[in-house]
Amino acid sequence: MWGGGKLGSSGGWFLRVLGPGGRNTKAVRHLISSVVYVKNQLSWILQIKPGVFNEYRTMWFKSYRTTFSCLNRIKSFRYRWARLYSTSQTTVDSGEVKTFLALAHKWWDEQGIYAPLHSMNDLRVPFIRDNLLKTIPNHQPGKPLFGMKILDVGCGGGLLTEPLGRLGASVIGIDPVDENIKTAQCHKSFDPVLDKRIEYRVCSLEEIVEETAETFDAVVASEVVEHVIDLETFLQCCCQVLKPSGSLFITTINKTQLSYALGIVFSEQIAGIVPKGTHTWEKFVSPETLESILESNGLSVQTVVGMLYNPFSGYWHWSENTSLNYAAHAVKSGVQEHPMSAEFAFKGETEELQANACTNPAVHEELKK
């Protein structure tokens, strides 16, 4: 077994097998046993058959940064053109569903266990609104988000969905807990305006990926990512349903010792601010991890800002400290070139290299090294 040709963003080694008259197609077909993809790089694994050097005489190794830059362009489409996640795959944790099912009737009790989420609207609604307004040249007074389509993932009883609808947006709220959606439906029915702007569905995000691909101007996942069982799949689905240049808004809890002490021990076990078992520290995610996953899916993180909750006053405020709660805003790449164009460009440059290789006197010099 001979391994060669590690291909990366800075170029790599290019393997070419030359036959008589430069005809090497047959040689490559005989030599290549497999091509494998390894995360963050492409690797070519070739098996040299006995007598190959006698039959094909020479082998040429050369680094071509330009050629392999095409591979980077192909890589950038890896997630967009990957198979969309089907309903057979889920990011929903059945244990979390049971927890929220028992609390479904308490969503709109502003003094109850969801009081911190009601109060959080004072921060997260303006955070979403103001960042989206940067993309709208002219907006209507009183309905600044009019014309925008927003997906509220894990909407619960609609605590964030309704304020976004009141700002003029068309909002779809989804949640895997049927009782949550029933509560949300019931509450919005009291406002005829919201009844027209908001639609609720009982489903997970991955269940609607195919039908809603590149549909939404914004996706909101507020206090959700710390409850899913597969964060990378969840964020990939968020990216897939976003339009090019669309915005993703996330609020969640950092994975630190402080977040364990205050977010779980104090909030759940001592003060009872939230019910016991609501959070699992292992599912918390740091801003660095979140940003890494988002950027690998073609989203550029614009803002990460800390949020602090005062359990005595019941209010939230912004902070430079992200060691507990934080909010993030990311934007999907606006240029979506078809990956086949990159493939054709790579093929063209490869054919040109094949033609030049036949007459290149540097071949034997490279072999001597």
- Please, which residues have CB within 8 angstroms of residue 344's CB and are 6 or more apart in sequence? none
pLDDT at 275: 82
- Please, which residues have CB within 8 angstroms of residue 170's CB and are 6 or more apart in sequence? 147, 148, 149, 150, 197, 198
Which of these CATH numbers, 3.40.50.1820, 3.30.70.20, 3.40.50.150, 3.40.1360.10, describes 94-332?
Answer: 3.40.50.150
pLDDT at 289 over 60: yes
pLDDT at 343: 44
pLDDT at 42: 40
Q: Give the tens place of pLDDT for each residue, 55-78.
A: 333 333 333 333 334 434 434 444
Q: What does the pLDDT average to over 334-361?
A: 48
Known binding residues for S-adenosyl-L-methionine are 124, 154, 175, 222
- Report which listed range, 56-65, 78-87, 129-138, 354-363, is most confident: 129-138
Q: Give the tens place of pLDDT for each residue, 106-115.
A: 999 999 999 9
Closest CA to 155 of 178, 128, 174: 174
Calculate the average pLDDT of the chain: 76
Known binding residues for Mg(2+) are 223, 226-227
240/206 Cα distance (integer angstroms): 10
Q: Which two tokens stand for residue 93?
A: 């944790």
Q: How confident is the model at residue 253 (pLDDT cuts 50, 70, 90)?
A: very high
Strands 11-18, 2-8: pairing kind: antiparallel
pLDDT at 300: 97
Threshold 0.85, pTM exceeds: no
Q: Which two tokens stand for residue 86?
A: 């089907």
Q: Give the tens place of pLDDT for each residue, 260-285.
A: 999 999 998 898 888 888 889 999 99
Q: What does the pLDDT average to over 158-180?
A: 97
287/330 Cα distance (integer angstroms): 12
Q: Which two tokens stand for residue 193?
A: 């305006």
Contact 226, 253 (CB under 8 A): yes
pLDDT at 179 over 70: yes
Known binding residues are 124, 154, 175, 222-223, 226-227
- Please, which residues have CB within 8 angstroms of residue 66's CB and are 6 or more apart in sequence? 349
More confident residue, 50 or 121: 121
pLDDT at 335: 58
pLDDT at 40 over 50: no
369/364 Cα distance (integer angstroms): 9
pLDDT at 340: 40
- Please, which residues have CB within 8 angstroms of residue 241's CB and are 6 or more apart in sequence? 151, 205, 208, 209, 212, 213, 214, 215, 216, 219
